[in-house]
Every structure is written in C-alpha cells, then in structure tokens.
Structure 1
Amino acid sequence: MAMFVHLTSAADAPRIRRSGVRAAGRGQEGARGVHCFPVLPSHTLTHQWLRELARFGSRGGLVAVHVRLDDAEPVLTGHYRDAARGAQATVTAAEAVRRIAALEDPRGHEVFVPRAIAPREVHRIRRAPQTVGWRYLPDAHGTRPCTCFSCRVRGGHGARRLRERLPHPLDGPPPPPRVLLARVAAAGEPGDPAVLREALHWFGMRRRGPLAELAPLQAHPDPSVREALVWAVAGWNTPGVAGLLDRLAADPDPDVREAVLAVREP
C-alpha cells in the first residue's frame, strides 16, 4: 500500500473522518480529484506544499491527512507546471512514489488522485507543521518578486507596499487619477491615441474613476481609443458606467461593439 499526505483545513477534519476526502481539486484537463504527495523520509519534503497552500487561507490551520492507496491505483504525477500543459503522466500509485522519491529535487511535484478518497482509505489525521515548505515557487526566497497582474496576490500580506516598492511597467500600481487626467489633457484635441490608450490602461486597474472627464472619449475619431475606454470603465462601480456602455454598444466600429459584448458576458 502506498502512503500519501493530503493537506487541508483543520475545520474539514471531522468531515474527512466521517466521509473521506472530497474530489474538490482540479487536475489537468479539468479533472476533479484529490491532490497529495508521497510520504518521504524527509519531513520537510513531505509537507513542502504547506506554506503555499496556507497563502490561500485555512480555517484553524492546516492538517495532514495520511491516505493509503492500493499500489495499483492509477494516479497522475508530475511537476505542477506539467498539469497546465497536460503533460502529467498516468502511473500506478506505487510508481508515482518511486518516481518522486528518485528525484534529486522533488519540490513542486505532486500526485493527483482522479477520484474522492473513501473514509476507509484515510489512515490518520494529524496537526501539520505550519512553517514548512516554500511559497510562490521553489527557490523563490532571495529572488526579486514579480508584481505583474498574474503573479501578485491581491490582499496578501504587504502586497500594496511591495507593488509600490517594485512597480511593474504594465501592471502598476497605476498613477493617481489627477496625474492620468493631466496626461489626457496634455494629449491635445482630439488627443494622441497612444497617450490616451496608455492612460485608459491605468484607469482600467481602478475600481472607480472620473467618468465625466473620460466620457467625451466615446466620440474620439480613433476606434482603438473608444475600445480602450470600454475596457477601462468595464470594472468600475461608478454611477453612469452602464449608460456609457450602452452608447458604445452602438458604436460604428465592430471591435468596439465586440468589446462591449465581451465585458457584459456573464
């Protein structure tokens, strides 16, 4: 029997003892199942995913659920990046343990069981160490953090200070609205499209904005500016956004109309 560990919130422990582990995880190609990792001689490697999972919140800390699977049980294994490419290999549980144990550096590797775990397969549940493992990615400590939109964690500890200290050239943080409005005014009449598109790009990262000052851009002769206006105001909760999008939905340019349809898709 192959032994694996699944990390989850302590609040889920009573339900797991009663009903097992739900197939709530998402594997490659959207498959539902349970993520876990083999129990290796190294305590640190066995629980390597703990700090990364803790970044996304837990109720009462994390616990380690030890699971026994039949050696012939089919599972998927590989590096977590392989899942996005559909490159994880389907092997038996015993082979997954052998492959990961033989790696020189198994950090970032995982095992995915494409089904739920039954209560009889749960060997034990114990409190897991809360300070073990890597965050963001293996070897991230000591490297310059990326503050692009895809990498940053909104609301994370020190996230705002980090973005202010290491601003990303495309993903901010955005300049203050008064600075952006000054750039729009300095662009001239009707306005340099490149300057206006850049300003609208930064406005699109805000939750509210000066709609009255930007609304005249709906009549700009360059359709790329009107399309950028759609994407900029789409996420705002400022009163009047719906009316502006209604007018842009009747724009003579098809790209502008398609942008309005895209931002209004449920």
Structure 2
Amino acid sequence: MVDGVSLTAHSPAHRPTMVMLHGLEDDWQSWKPMADRLGDRFHCYAIDLPWRAGGGYEWRAGGTAAQWVENALALIPQPISVLVAHSMGANAVLHWLASGTPRRVDALVLLSPFYRLASAPVDWAMFDRSLADFRTVMAAGLRARLGERAERLEPEIVSLMAEKALDRIGPEGFLSLFDIFISSSGIDLSSNTVPTLVVGGSADPGISGPRAEALGRDMPTAEIRLEDELTHFCHIEQPQRVSELVSEFLLRRLPAALEGGRRPALEGVHL
C-alpha cells in the first residue's frame, strides 16, 4: 500500500500494460470479468483507489481525484499502454488529463462517465436530481456486485442492504461525486491527443443524449459508443460486449498492442 492506493496484477510482464480504475464504492475485484477477457493480450493492473467500497472519505483532504490518479499510475512499474476507468474513476481521469500531466498512456477507455452540460445551471433542482440518481446508481451497483445472489434474495432484503450502504456512505460520498460532476464541463479537454473510447448505456442519464454529444464536441479525440443493452455497471454486467468494443477500438488505434499470448491475468494495487 502506498498513500492509500493498492495494486493487483495479472499476466506476464512482457505484454502491454493495461491499468483499470474503479468508480465510487467499488473495488479492484470488479475488473475480473474484463481482465478474464482482455488479460490474454495485456498485463492488467487493477487499482484499489481511496474511494473504494467500505472506505472513508479522508482522501479528499489528501488531494484531488486527479492527483490520486497520478499517485496510482506512479505505482505501475511498466509503461502504460491502455488506461481503463469506470464512472467516478473515468471522471477523475478526465480531470487528470486536463491537469497538464505529460502524456503517459497510449489509449484511454472511459466507461459510464458523467458529464454536465455547460448550459445546465448548478442549482438546488440539479442537486436534488443528482442525489436521486446517486441513490439509484448505488443500489444498482450493489445488485451488480451481488450478481445471481440478488435474484435469490427477497427484493425487500436487497432494498434494505442498499439503504444501509447509503447510510454508511453518507453525505461525504455523494458530495465527492457531485463535486466532480458539476466541474466536468469546466475542464479543457480540447488539447487531449490520446485516442479515447467512451462506452456507456443509451439510458444512462449521466452520459446519454446531449451529454454524450457535448463530451464529443469538447473532446475531439473521443469516440463515443452508447448501446441500449449496456448498464452503468457494464464492466460487471456486460463484460463480453464491453471487451469486444475495447478490442475493436484498440485493434484500430493500437494494433501492435493486441499481439501476444492467450493467458489471462490480473494484479491488484491498493492506494
């Protein structure tokens, strides 16, 4: 562990390196379905970030989300070929890109980021909508991690588990997400030169419709793929389709990176 960040890795080190960053109240293990599908071509590292499930929010006093991304990437012993990030992790990467950090990756994959329209006022109505969306997403995340077990539990039990998780997260968890959301449209992504794939669900309110169009305008290097069947937690619930989209993108943009063996692997790193 280094300054609250943890690392886990999987596969021979001679392969191109892929680093995976989770979202709020998630952890490095959520990347296993993706690593099982992409680890045959990449040496995969999954970072356990300070905003992991069950953690506290003292990390906010220790640096911005972008600075924690920088701390995490500094732990990787090899040059980074592909950086993959989900939800709040994806937004932290957007802020990291705009922070003036020298280019250190060959390609980016951002899953289910959220993006605020510059024309949308930051008012109490936005706050209330965002809080409602936060509660919905946190409950969906619990169900995604439970997987088939959620189907065997009574709906009331799953709802009670979600409420207890929200009580534990508390206002600090929501505010950390809300802050990075409202500042998303104010960062300058126009000078980014790293090939970027943005993947999400057509019904995900954080990125669908005009939000996706705005991100595409503000980040010209981004290719945006939204599909009806993808959920916010697509890396857990639809890993096969997401891996196909990532592989197709990298085959076009980084063909040399997809040469290699066939044994999947994953390493975890704890921040």
Q: TM-score, normalised by structure 1?
A: 0.24
Structure 1 or 2, whichever has the larger Rg, is: 1
Q: Higher helix share goes to which structure?
A: 2
Q: TM-score, normalised by structure 2?
A: 0.23
